[in-house]
Structure 1
Amino acid sequence: MKVLVAEYAVASGLEPPIRYEGLAMLSVLVRGFVESGCEVSYLTRGTTLRWGTPIRCDDGRFEQMLRERCREVDAALVIAPDELLAPLTRVVEEECLNLGCPSACVGTCADKLEVFEALKGRVPTCEPWEGEGPWVSKPRFGCASEDVVLGGRRVRGERWKPLRGKSVSMGVVGSRHGVLTLPLTLQRIHYVCDGLGLSDIDAALEHAERGNVVRIEYGGNVVPHPSPMEEDVAQVVREAYGILGCEGYVGMDVVLADEPYIVDVNPRPTTSILGLDVVCTPSVGRLILSAKLPECFGELPERVDVNGQMAFSKEDIPLLLQRLGFTYNFK
């Protein structure tokens, strides 16, 4: 089977650290598909991996190259910023088998207000905020924690109720054939005010209540993360996965408060698959293929085997990939 992986940050030459995160996802998926017996190609501005065949993507030609190459393969998976992912997924759907979420689902998940409307009253989720005190402000459309801040009167944008709790994520992979939740992952979240790091959400809220603006930044992951609430999280994300019509790999961000609250739905692989792929068997790539093509790659297992624990920061990704055997020429 011929498979194309098109990851926007690497193919478009975006600046680090977003390109590092894209490289992590691309590396994991290409290797997983190759080791599952697929003939794999990938779009790139210049970076080359140990596995797969690189296809040079010139400036401004990502969508055109995606369409052209999809016509030459059996299946493809595209990863891109929220506002671009739905139309790019439609390109894949028009030309070959889409290994990711359907474009309609992607369009819904890209809009945080639409996700809230779909999930409210059905699963615990982050809510719009009209009350007093600080709130979380984040773009209605956005990814990678871009422009996500905690503040009050000096903050503009969509307002969301702040939640006190631990930030985690859980990957879900599936299709109409079945759904599998992956081990809970701790998110390393950094709270930064006037260039200074804060210890936790409580300290961040104290600064916000004084009128300061606190940036909320993703810093990396620890997987697996043991928690007595893990099965509760799994139940919530499975329900949300079905409600939203997801397929393939989806990463859901969750805050563990009095119960698990879904705060973001990423209808695509996320950076956390790097850690998951290291500690879990089968590989993430193999799980995606099993979810979408069980007749060729076997059905999804009931659970994955977990061996050890992995922690990483997004700044460490290039060196980490080299250490893990993802040899490449990074440009």
Structure 2
Amino acid sequence: MDKYCVGVDVGGTTVKLGLFQTNGRLIFKWEIPTRKEDSGKYILEDVSVAVREVLRERQIHLEQVVGVGLGVPGPVLPDGRVERCVNLGWHNVNPQSQLSGLLDNILVKSGNDANVAALGEMWQGGGMGFTDIIMVTLGTGVGGGVIIDEKIVTGKHGLGGEIGHIHIRDEETEKCNCGGIGCVEQIGSATGIAREARRKMAASDEPSSMRVFGDGITAKDVLDEAKKGDEMALEVVETVGRYLGMALAQLAMTVDPQMFVIGGGVSKAGQFLIDVITKYYNYYTPISENKAVIGLAKLGNDAGIYGAARLVLG
């Protein structure tokens, strides 16, 4: 009898779901709206209904499902309890036990969405073949996840993998969203890259193809112009790469993973960005040539469902 697992990635707008074989093969993926009204009390019920419907359509019995994994946008305590998921309206909820109850007490395991995405990339994505990876997600903010011996490292307070809020820039004067100053997120995120470009343009009168975008410039604009050879855009990318390389060097000296997997929207710049980060990472880790490699994530928006499914496979 074939065995299956289900991965669920709960987002603020949609819930992504995936039906997998236990060998990692994705059979079917789909989405449902995230109903956040009444403090999100309908979300898990909707998930259970969606899972049952797809299993019924595919003539798969619930007994064939080894478990359901759940990625949620917030810190998850060891017992599966979530103190607060602001984007969902959850407060002191245990989605792990609730969803299990809705699915005839099937095994359900939950984790923070960024950590779960990292697990997915290790299992079937950019980190496939490795057991120890650190994923860094460069999006609107900077997220991350640490996987050691194929297990998520969350720490005792859920702060493991909060790579975006490592302090790396002493001369920063503006505050990060976390309340800190000089965080990785302020430089390496899409928002941070655009801010670096605006600062650079305001600080000089040098010509640059970036100026056509004005204050509305995006990280993609900066990276595109840098690829075309614009000198000022290249300076911005060098700054971003230097600080990201510095952050990865600190992580390498602390955790010593086999690989850093770079994901998120900014990573669409591809090997161009990886090469700049790698240059500075190598500069800040002269202690050894035998160290983690840096590569690109491969699963995109599906990383969450892959990682969630992997949670229940031990």
State the TM bucket, normalised to the shorter chain.
0.3 to 0.5
Q: Which has the higher helix share?
A: 2
**Higher Cα Rg: structure 1 or 2?**
2
TM-score (norm 2): 0.35
TM-score (norm 1): 0.34
Q: Which has the higher strand share?
A: 1
